[in-house]
A and B are shown apart, each in its own frame.
Chain A
Amino acid sequence: MKLGLDQGFQGQYPDRRVLNNDVEVMIRPLVADDEDQLLAFYRDLPPETRLRLRQDNSNRKILQRFLEEIPLGRMVTMGGFEVEGEKLVGECSLRIMHHGWARHVGELKYSLMPKWSPTGLGGILIMELVEVASSQGLDKLVYQVLDDQVRLKKMLQEMGFVQEAILRDHATDLSGKKHDIYIMSNYMAELWRKMEDMIMYQEFPPLP
């Protein structure tokens, strides 16, 4: 299994994408040098969003631990930036185990400035990492969604994720409130096999 982004991926960033509102954003993988940008991003998130962060990255020490994972290849983080001023407005991370029985599984999570939420940026960042996951040989992606993250759950379902399990009262948000966690998963190989099957079925239908 490869560690981190391969050369082919490195070469395609920074890249620009047009969002649903016709605004252009720049996307690129984040590195340890982006610590200040990330810290400012997490600290700018509104309290209701920060409450639901899996870990409080607005704390520099916690963020540094998160960033240490990147050069080790255990984390790939894609950032979305405003084109003018290059301010970070969203990030999506893929955690990869590399060993143990879940070495074929990657875990995604993302955070976005609320203003950018309806623009499709979240979906773009996730799809970038789905492609990275595919190039890393991962077969399955999971996303842990809190019970009140309804829009996020819907977006993941639109991308082919299905609800696989519910863990009751499994998360405590930063305010101390307990939440159920929905484990959403997506089998990437299965997804693309469907496309191949569809093409083969159309071009060589079974004999009557």
Chain B
Amino acid sequence: MEIQSSSRWRIAGFGGQGVILSGMILGRAVSIFENRHATMMQSFGPEARGGACSAQVTLSDEQILYPYVKKPDVLVAMSQQALGLYLPLLRPGGKLIYEEDLVDIGDQGDLPEGVTAYGVPATKIAEKLRRRIVLNIVMVGFFSAVAPVVSRESARKAVLYSVPKGTEALNGRAYDMGYKYGVDTYGGES
């Protein structure tokens, strides 16, 4: 798949799922490791752990003058609430990426016009690695395979750069497993 020159993303889920870190990794991959441009805005619900949480990420080859994402090209939904809130805003022809054990998208025919859905059992993959906390890194691997806005190499480097020292190996594997699932299930470069 060809790497897109610009893209607006909304990544949303519960607090504690690593939603913000996913957005941060995506932005770092583009800005630090590819010398392009990225912005991120984040918002939280009033609750403590478990409340709604979302990141708005804009990626571009050009300078970004407006960081808010009103109508994303890509929606990453990691909770049912996030899908309900943000799916109506997804641009026609956009991509919906969702955690298939946490989000039920219903009938594909109910999706907005031209939207393609990509599901990944990220929690199950993370559980195979015996660390549910790497769910978000599995998602990063998956979305860098099915919605390539950054090279695999840069995304992986950004993962290893962003996670705590000592956890790199397992996070690297989580990334690889998410990426592989994306390539094996939906095609793309391996």
State the A residues within 8 Å of B (CB): 8, 12, 123-124, 127, 131, 134-135, 158-161, 186, 191-192, 194-196, 198-200, 202-204
Contact = CB atoms under 8 A, between A and B. Distances in A.
B61 to A, nearest CB: 27
Contact of A199 (B42, B48, B133): B133
A204 B164 contact: no
A198 B136 contact: no
A191 to B, nearest CB: 5
Interface residues of B, number: 28
A153 to B, nearest CB: 15
Given A131-B130, A192-B133, A196-B133, A202 B166 contact: no
Given A199-B16, A199-B20, A160 B165 contact: yes
Contacts of A161: 166
Given A191-B167, A195-B133, A202 B16 contact: no
Contacts of B164: 191, 194-195, 198
Secondary structure dominating the interface of A: helix
B16 A203 contact: yes
A134 B168 CA distance: 16
Given A135-B130, A159-B169, A203-B16, A195 B53 contact: no
Interface in B141-169: 163-169
B112 interface: no
Contact of B49 (A127, A131, A195, A204): A204
B169 to A, nearest CB: 4
B44 interface: yes
- Enumerate the 3 nearest inter-chain pairs by beta-carbon distance, A residue then B residue, closest first: A160-B166, A194-B164, A202-B20
B44 A186 contact: no
A202 B167 contact: no
A204 B53 CA distance: 9
Contacts of A160: 165-167
Contacts of A135: 130
Contacts of B41: none
A199 B136 contact: yes
Nearest to B171: A195
Contacts of B15: 200, 203-204
Nearest to A126: B169
18 contacts: A12-B128, A127-B170, A131-B130, A135-B130, A159-B166, A160-B167, A161-B166, A191-B166, A192-B167, A195-B164, A198-B21, A200-B15, A202-B24, A202-B42, A203-B15, A203-B18, A204-B15, A204-B48
Contact of A192 (B16, B21, B48, B131): B131
B19 interface: yes
